[in-house]
Chains A and B, each alone.
Chain A
Amino acid sequence: MEDKLIIGDKELNSRLFVGTGKFADYSLIPRVIKSSKARVVTVALRRVDFGTPEENMLNFLPENIVLMPNTSGARNAAEAVRIARITRAAGCGNWVKIEIINDQKYLLPDNFETIEAIKVLAKEGFTVLPYMSPDLTAAKRMAEAGAAAIMPLGAPIGTNRGLKTRELIQILIAEINLPIIVDAGIGRPSEAAEAMEMGAAAVLVNTAIATADDPVLMAEAFGQAVEAGRKAYLAGPGATRQFAEASSPLTGFLRNG
């Protein structure tokens, strides 16, 4: 039986999404995508810096990936909508990660503005994946507004602290009938595996890969962890118990009785 992730009009055979920020060198990125087997890649849009122009990220991305531009920099729904329209008009596809942040300390997203942005962009035919602070009511509103998935944070961006919000994520997985993609805070492959074992549809990882000593090897580890976690979820883990239950017979071997 095939276990495919379907979001919008895309059928994905990898449940690991990777971000392209914070890499020391853009040339690492195609190698990371290859070793991780990721198929969805996030990028950002910025004004050209005339003083120190950056290389074009698009030149480093292979052909067969799904591009997911984020609306980073947006402080409200109107700005997020503007960024999304620019990326689509520029040929970046119709997927968009809504990222609306007004908090510079924790980089926590503004769920309220995000809901408004989804309403506009979903109507315009975008496949909208909102980055959000895990809250069931907000997630329900985002689903009603037309989101294609919900992307709750595990911990603040860049902290590598894992699934601090795990119980709230579990509630979203149980109650929202959309793919739940844990985005932000995952610091280790084991944490990505844990998210998948909980029933997350996918995870998005950026900092943990980009800032590893060996990003290409770390990306491979994350790819394997996501596959393992998903298989574990599908395999149906056994119950946890308080008291021990022997795995081998308790009857004596080298003595009678």
Chain B
Amino acid sequence: MIVRINGKESEVPQKLTIADIVRERNLPDRVIIDLNGEILNPERWSSTYLRSDDDLELVQVIGGG
């Protein structure tokens, strides 16, 4: 199925959880997950499955002025 990840369309398998994505992409700890405009706390990552046309933003805090 197609989902948007960080603004880019990606083909991903069905039955993919947020936790799977975090693991697969080797994301930094304390990454912030914004799924369809809602921030998901880490406790919900293993139980939240991606659905077709989801808009997933993976963001983090970096240096800035």
A interface residues, Cβ below 8 angstroms from B: 19-23, 26, 29, 42-48, 50, 53-59, 69-70, 72, 86-87, 89-90, 92, 157, 184, 204, 206-207
Residue of A nearest to B60 (CB): A48
Given A56-B30, A56-B61, 14 more A-B residue pairs with CB atoms under 8 Å apart are A19-B65, A45-B59, A46-B60, A48-B6, A48-B58, A56-B29, A57-B63, A59-B30, A72-B64, A72-B65, A86-B59, A92-B61, A184-B65, A204-B65
B29: chain A residues within 8 A (beta carbon) = 56, 59
Residue of A nearest to B6 (CB): A47
Q: How far is the CA of A20 from the CA of B6 in the complex (A)?
A: 24
A57: chain B residues within 8 A (beta carbon) = 60-63
Q: Are B59 and A23 in contact (CB under 8 A)?
A: no
How many inter-chain residue pairs (CB < 8 Å) link A and B? Answer: 92
Q: Are B57 and A26 in contact (CB under 8 A)?
A: no
Shortest distance from the beta carbon of A68 to any chain B beta carbon, whole Å: 10
Q: How far is the CA of A89 from the CA of B27 in the complex (A)?
A: 19
Q: Which of B27, B31, B64 has the most CB of A within 10 A?
A: B64
Residue of B nearest to A44 (CB): B64
Q: Are B30 and A53 in contact (CB under 8 A)?
A: no
Q: How far is the CA of A207 from the CA of B64 in the complex (A)?
A: 10
Q: Mark B14-32, 1 if CB is under 8 A from A, else 0.
A: 0000000000011111111
B57: chain A residues within 8 A (beta carbon) = 47, 86
B12 at the binding interface (Cβ < 8 Å): no
Q: Are B61 and A43 in contact (CB under 8 A)?
A: yes
Using A45-B59, A48-B6 as known contacts, say yes or no to A20 and B32 having CB atoms under 8 A apart: no
Q: Mark B36-62, 1 if CB is under 8 A from A, else 0.
A: 000100000000000000000111111
B60: chain A residues within 8 A (beta carbon) = 45-46, 48, 54, 56-57
Q: Are A53 and B27 in contact (CB under 8 A)?
A: yes
